[in-house]
Amino acid sequence: MIAKLQCVVLDCADVVGLSGFYQSLLGGVVNQPDPRWSLGKGWATLHTDGGFVLAFQWVDDYQPPQWPDSAHPQQFHLDLEVKDLEQAQEDVLERGAALLDAGDGQRSWRIFADPAGHPFCLVRH
Tens-digit pLDDT profile for residues 69-90: 888 777 778 889 899 999 999 9
Dihedral-angle region of residue 41 (phi above 0 means left; psi in -120 to 50 means alpha; beta otherwise)? alpha
pLDDT score at 2? 61
CA angle 30/24/60 to nearest 5° reads 60
CA 84 from centroid of its chain's CA atoms: 19
pTM of the model: 0.83
CA angle 31/19/48 to nearest 5° reads 65
Write the CB contacts of 41 (distance below 8 Å, at least 6 apart in sequence).
Answer: 15, 58
